[in-house]
Amino acid sequence: MPESLEQKIIRSYQLNADAWTEIIAKEGIKSRQLVTNKAIVDAVLSHQPVDVLDVGCGEGWLVRALIDQSINATGIDGVEALVNSARKRGKGIFEICQYEDIEQCPALAPSFDVIVCNFALLGEQSTQDLLSACANKLVLGKGRLLIQTLHPLLVNSSPYFTGWKEGSWAGFPDTFTEPPDWYFRTLEDWLAVFSDAGLVLLGINEPRHPQTGEPASIIFNCASV
Ligand SMILES: C[S@@+](CC[C@H](N)C(=O)[O-])C[C@H]1O[C@@H](n2cnc3c(N)ncnc32)[C@H](O)[C@@H]1O
């Protein structure tokens, strides 16, 4: 059977695990240093959570940042090499888990005050499955799902339709290889996928780039219905 686009995302991060770990360690993605890292940490802290799950945690920087703020943070990711890299750094609990298996992941607490996805929702079906599972893993009433992703208005998407986009590592070092295609959603379709998953959108943040004034990302703040 040919490899699906969803499988290619995981394979690409497996191939690029070392390069990814290195660029994060070197603080090599400018927009993250200038805007989006602080934006997502502040968004999580604003809910004063005790237990946080970082989904698609990569090499684990966000889990470590939250632990530094005395939060119980756990990270999951489908790429073994990234989880191993996160574990090596010593702080936090990290598990290998693909989004479609999250409900079977034995190490996870039954519910979290905040579940956070930082630039980690790249697929179509995997995102739908994950969001439905997250809706069931939020603490009743006050639990929040925070998703930071590319701002739909700033993705070069003409015509403006939901669908798979060709991947690119433009702006990344030559050590990055085989960029995965990724699934773009219009704002309308983000709202539809939240609703299908049993989530309601409570608000958005649009962190701005201090030099260009453009939104550097969008952060969706969701609760379960
Ligand atoms: C752009 S990286 C972001 C990593 C991290 N959240 C950060 O802020 O640095 C996307 C991450 O999502 C993970 N990922 C994507 N699709 C996944 C899936 N279906 N199951 C598990 N992990 C997935 C990748 O392995 C990768 O670590």
Q: How far is the CA of 108 from the centre of ligand 1 (A)?
A: 17
52-68 per-position pLDDT tens digit: 999 999 999 999 999 99
Q: What is the mean pLDDT of residues 109-134?
A: 97
For the CA of 118, the closest atom of ligand 1 is 6
Q: What is residue 218's predicted lDDT score, i.e. its pLDDT?
A: 98
Say how many domains are in the chain.
1
Give percent above pLDDT 90 in the chain: 92
Kindly state if the Cβ of 122 falls inside 6 Å of ligand 1.
yes
Average pLDDT over the chain reads 96
60-105 per-position pLDDT tens digit: 999 999 999 999 999 999 999 999 999 999 889 999 999 999 999 9
Residue ranges making up the domain that contains 61: 5-224
Q: How far is the CA of 92 from the centre of ligand 1 (A)?
A: 17
Q: What is the DSSP string of the chain?
A: -PPPHHHHHHHHHHHTHHHHHHHHHTT--HHIIIIIHHHHHHHHHTT--SEEEEET-TT-HHHHHHHTTT-EEEEEES-HHHHHHHHHT-SSEEEE--GGGGGG-TTS-S-BSEEEEES----SHHHHHHHHHHHTTBPTTT-EEEEEE--TTTS--SS---EEE----TTS-TT--SPPPEEE--HHHHHHHHHHTTEEEEEEE-PBPTTT-SB--EEEEEEE-
Q: What is the CATH number of the domain that holds 63?
A: 3.40.50.150
Kindly state if the Cβ of 219 falls inside 6 Å of ligand 1.
no
pLDDT class of 181 with cuts at 50, 70, 90: very high
Q: What is residue 63's predicted lDDT score, i.e. its pLDDT?
A: 98
